[in-house]
Structures are given as C-alpha cells and as structure tokens.
C-alpha cells in the first residue's frame, strides 16, 4: 500500500514540475475544441402530426384490391410524401433555391431535405413528420424559422398534389382503359369475322350451336344424363299405370241403368279429337311428341267407345270412373315418355354428329375450337376491362366531387426555441475536461520518457548501487518570491481558462434566448 502511495506522489510531483506544460496543452486543446464546436451550426427540429383518412364512399368490394386497397393507398401516400418532386417545390417555396437554379443545385437541395425530413408512422393512418434544419450560412433564428416553414410548405404541397394527382390519375387511367377496350373490340371483331368465314367454308363439317365442339358435346352429355334419369322415372310410372289398368275393369254393372250411360267415352273421344285438331291448326306435325301421345289416347278412347256401343239395351253397365282416371293418367305418362325419348334421340344424334365430324375432320374441329377459345379469352378480357373502367370512373367522380383523401393536421408544425443538436454545453464541458486531462497526460508521459529519478530508492533500484543519501532543495527568499509570483500566474492562466468556458456557456444560453 505504501508503494502505491509513493508511486502516486511521484506521478503527482512529475506533473506538478511540468505545470506550465499542463496549462499550455490544456489551453491549446480547449481553444481548438471550442473553435470546432463553434463551427458546427445549430440544428432546429420542427414536428407535426398528420391524419390521412380514406373517404370510403365506394364500397371496398367495388374497388380494385378489395379490403386492402385503403392500406396500400395509405402506404403509397407515405412514400410520396417526401418525393423529389414535392421536396423541390418545398425548396423553391421556402427560398432554399434561388430563381433560375440549375439542376445540380436542385438535386443538392432535394437530397438535403430528404436526409433531414423523416416520416414516422405512429398508427395505421397517423404520421409524425420531423424536419431538422441546420444551414451554416443562416442564423439560429433563421434556421428555426426555416425548420417550421419547411413542414408548412411540405404539408401544403402534399395536399395540393394529392388532390391534383388523384384526378389526373383517374383521367389517365380512363384514357388507358379506353385504348385497351378499343383494341379488344377490334380483336373480337376480327375473331368473329374469322369464325363466320370458317363456319361458311365448313358449313357441312361443323355442327350448329354456340361454343366449341367439345363444349357442345359436354353440354349434350350432361343434359342426356338428366334426360335418361327422367325417362327411367317416367317409364316406371307408365308401367305402374299399365299394371293398375290391367286389374281395373273398364265398366261396372249398375242396376237399372240404361245402355245410354256409355256415352261418357264418346264425349271424351270427341274432346280428344277436338284437341288434336287444335294442335294441327297450331302447326304441330304428327311427329310431335304431344300429337303422338294424344293420338295414342284417341285410339284407346275409340276402343272404349266401341265396347260401350256394343252393350244391349237392357244392360246396366256404365263406365268405371277409376278406369277412366287411370286411362288419362296413362296417356299423360305416355306423352311424357314419348317426349323424353324424342329428346334423348335428338341429343344422341347431336353427339354422334359432332363426334363423327371430329373424327372425319379433326383439323377442322381443332381449328374451330381454337377460334372459339380465342374469342372466349378476348371476351373475358373485354368484360374485365369494362368492369375496371367503371371502377376507375366511379373513383374519379368521387375524387372530383368529394375529398376522397382527407388530410387533417392533428399537431401543426412546432416553432423550435432550442437547438436539437449539437448539445453545445455538454460538448464545451467535455472539451474542458479533455484539455485538462490532455495536459496532465502529456506531462506525465514526458516524465516517464526522461531518465530522472524523483526518490533515492528509485535511483538505487535502477542503478543497483547503494545510495548513501540525498540532498534536499534549498529555497532562498528570492526563489520563494519567484515561485509565488509564478504560482499566481499559473492560477490566473487556469482561472482564465475556466472563465472563458463560463463565458461560452453564458453566450450559448443568451443565443438560445434570442431565438425564443
């Protein structure tokens, strides 16, 4: 412990003997450091908060992008807020760019603003904008005023650009979509003309109908499957009706009833024949399913009328109402079966005809299907473009008639009263300590380099020889007075350094007060 104490005393003595060197180095470091700090311009920050809201007049599902359209639009607004075009206008408005400035000066001003303007999203649609201005050629008051003016100008330019840009974007979008629609119309017309010419050239090889041969076959097979299901059910119902008629007598014996009661079948026959005449008057041929079914019913009624006519005058037989009901039901079901069978035959014939044409002329069918596919694709593109054009037109009307994008200033740009950087008081203090520490370090280092020994024990350890004794310094009165005088000078030099430091601090706070 005594050894460490001795070493400390030796180091302190070494520094004290070079106290003028310590004072000179401290003055040099402080003067250079304070001059460097004084050359750094003060930076002033101004902050503002914006609320960007999307006016949802058009429902979200009617806009391209669906429910994420608003979010992407807000992201786009955040990116374009500090665009080069907007910042160039800000530089001109605030006077940072003189009239007639060249491209190089404009690029430099825009780069400086892009570096010193920050947009930080606080919530989904709230942004904090910060401008940090520190131009060395301007005073602190001018820098503070410029920081606030930059944000004011930026917000104004941004609002104007959003309003003007939205309308211009809508007009440009409509113009582009109109051109695309005109191209699609021409292409569709050309495909339709080519398809018509192809059909006229291969009229015997292409079945009529809309769609490609493959599509028509698929449609016919789907309908054929439904028809077969319905036909099977109708045939089952007809078989059930036939079975019931086979076990039901056509007439029943009614005591005391004359044979004239058999005129019911003749009345039904007359009605059926009248209905047949009406069908033929409407232009239905004998091959029509309804005509075929009605003729079958007329034949059955004729047989019943003949049986009723052969009854004797004293007979009491009358037509069985249940049998007549079953006969009408069977006729109806026969008509249904005939109609379904005719439709099945027609579909089967269409499928066979298309299939035969494809087998005999595969190239024609493939080319026709390719033309139809091209037409379908172009028509789908045209319909999609029409829908997009309507959406763009609606959004353009919304932006023209209303504020589609609403920008509210939550917090206006602040008026800075104190610089945000540099922290001059802290830097001045650090330079003072660095100067004092540097002077002490230089003095201590110089004492370590020179081969002198402050104590007899150090000399003894260094030489390896015994030291008999040491002679202390003899201080005369004149020398004592000289030392006191130099000590006063040293204290004055150190005090002047501290006073200069205090003076710089006072000047800094006075300058800040002038800005406020």
Domain for residue 476, yes or no? yes
Is there a single domain that holds both residue 374 and residue 430? no
Is there a single domain that holds both residue 368 and residue 431? no
pLDDT for 213: 64
Q: Answer for the pair 407, 127: CB distance below 8 angstroms, yes or no.
A: no
Q: Answer for the pair 273, 298: CB distance below 8 angstroms, yes or no.
A: yes
pLDDT tens digit sequence for 106-116: 888 888 888 88
Is there a single domain that holds both residue 332 and residue 451? no
Domain for residue 100, yes or no? no
Domain for residue 57, yes or no? no
Domain for residue 239, yes or no? yes
What band does 428 get if pLDDT is binned at 50, 70 and 90?
A: very high
pLDDT for 61: 45
Number of continuous H segments (helices) and E segments (strands) in the chain: 14, 6
Is there a single domain that holds both residue 269 and residue 337? yes
CA nearest neighbour of 119 among 164, 70, 86, 166: 86
Is there a single domain that holds both residue 261 and residue 322? yes
What band does 256 get if pLDDT is binned at 50, 70 and 90?
A: low
Domain for residue 309, yes or no? yes
pLDDT for 66: 45
What residues make up the domain containing 356?
A: 213-386
Q: Is the full-model pTM beyond 0.75?
A: no
d(CA 258, CA 77): 100
Q: Which residue has the higher pLDDT, 311 or 279?
A: 279
Domain for residue 8, yes or no? yes
349-361 mean pLDDT: 73
pLDDT tens digit sequence for 18-42: 889 999 999 999 999 999 998 888 8
pLDDT for 298: 83
Q: CB within 8 A of 438, min separation 6: which ones?
A: 25, 26, 29
Domain for residue 170, yes or no? no
Residue 508 has pLDDT above 90, yes or no: no
d(CA 436, CA 30): 8
Is there a single domain that holds both residue 477 and residue 378? no
pLDDT tens digit sequence for 300-344: 878 877 776 554 444 445 666 777 787 788 888 888 888 888 888
pLDDT for 68: 43
Is there a single domain that holds both residue 382 and residue 461? no
Is there a single domain that holds both residue 263 and residue 353? yes
pLDDT for 386: 87
pLDDT for 34: 93
pLDDT tens digit sequence for 157-216: 887 776 665 555 666 777 888 888 888 889 888 888 888 887 777 765 555 555 566 677
Indicate the average pLDDT of the chain. 78
The tokens describing 94, both together, are: 């605030």
Domain for residue 46, yes or no? no
d(CA 205, CA 495): 115
Helix (H) or strand (E) holding 206: none
Neighbours of 250 (CB within 10 A): 18
Is there a single domain that holds both residue 439 and residue 343? no
47-59 mean pLDDT: 70
Low-confidence winner among 69-78, 258-267, 331-340 (lowest mean pLDDT)? 258-267
Total domains in the fold of the chain: 2
Percentage of the chain exceeding pLDDT 70: 75
Is there a single domain that holds both residue 322 and residue 264? yes
What band does 435 get if pLDDT is binned at 50, 70 and 90?
A: very high
Domain limit, last residue, from 333, 358, 386: 386
Is there a single domain that holds both residue 310 and residue 376? yes
pLDDT tens digit sequence for 125-162: 788 889 888 887 888 788 888 888 998 988 888 877 76
Domain limit, last residue, from 342, 366, 386: 386
């Amino acid at each position: 412990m005594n050894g460490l104490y001795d070493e400390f005393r030796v180091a302190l003595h070494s520094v004290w003997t070079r106290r003028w060197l310590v004072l000179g180095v401290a003055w040099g470091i402080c003067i250079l450091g304070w001059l460097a700090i004084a050359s750094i311009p003060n930076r002033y920050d101004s902050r503002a908060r914006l609320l960007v809201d999307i006016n949802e007049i058009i429902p979200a599902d009617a806009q391209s992008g669906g429910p994420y359209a608003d979010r992407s639009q807000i992201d786009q607004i955040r990116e374009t807020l500090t665009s080069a075009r907007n910042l160039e206008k800000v530089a001109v408005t605030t006077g940072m760019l003189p009239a007639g400035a060249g491209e190089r000066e404009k690029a430099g001003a825009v780069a400086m603003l892009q570096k010193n303007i920050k947009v930080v999203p606080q919530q989904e649609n709230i942004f904090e904008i910060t401008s940090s201005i520190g131009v060395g050629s301007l005073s602190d008051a001018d820098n503070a005023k410029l920081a606030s003016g930059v944000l004011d100008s930026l917000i104004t330019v941004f609002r104007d650009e959003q309003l003007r840009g939205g309308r211009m974007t809508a007009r440009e979008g409509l113009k582009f979509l109109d051109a695309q629609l005109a191209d699609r119309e021409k292409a569709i017309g050309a495909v339709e003309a080519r398809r018509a010419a192809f059909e006229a050239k291969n009229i015997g090889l292409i079945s009529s109908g809309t769609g490609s041969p493959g599509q028509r076959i698929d449609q016919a097979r789907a309908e054929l499957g439904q028809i077969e299901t319905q036909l099977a059910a109708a045939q089952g119902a007809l078989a059930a009706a036939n079975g019931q008629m086979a076990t039901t007598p056509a007439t029943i014996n009614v005591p005391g009833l004359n044979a004239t009661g058999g005129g019911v079948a003749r009345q039904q026959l007359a009605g059926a024949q009248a209905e047949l005449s009406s069908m033929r008057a409407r232009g239905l041929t004998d091959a029509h399913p309804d005509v075929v079914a009605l003729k079958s019913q007329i034949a059955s009624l004729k047989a019943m009328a003949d049986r009723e006519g052969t009854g004797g005058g004293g007979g009491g037989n009358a037509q069985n109402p249940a049998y007549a009901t079953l006969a009408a039901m069977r006729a109806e079901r026969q008509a249904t079966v005939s109609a379904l069978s005719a439709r099945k035959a027609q579909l089967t014939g269409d499928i066979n005809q298309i299939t035969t044409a494809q087998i005999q002329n595969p190239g024609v069918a493939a080319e026709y299907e390719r033309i139809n596919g091209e037409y379908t694709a172009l028509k789908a593109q045209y319909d999609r473009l029409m829908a997009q054009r309507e959406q763009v037109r609606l959004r353009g009307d919304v932006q023209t008639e209303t504020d589609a994008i609403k920008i509210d200033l939550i917090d206006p740009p602040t008026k800075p009263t104190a610089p945000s950087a540099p922290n001059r008081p802290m830097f001045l203090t650090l330079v003072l300590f660095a100067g004092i520490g540097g002077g002490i370090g230089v003095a201590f280092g110089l004492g370590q380099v020179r081969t002198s020994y402050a104590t007899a024990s150090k000399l003894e350890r260094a030489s390896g020889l015994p030291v008999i004794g040491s002679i202390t310094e003899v201080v005369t009165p004149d020398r004592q007075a000289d030392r006191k005088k130099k000590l006063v000078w040293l204290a004055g030099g150190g005090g002047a350094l501290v006073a200069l430091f205090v003076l710089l601090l006072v000047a800094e706070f006075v300058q800040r007060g002038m800005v406020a």
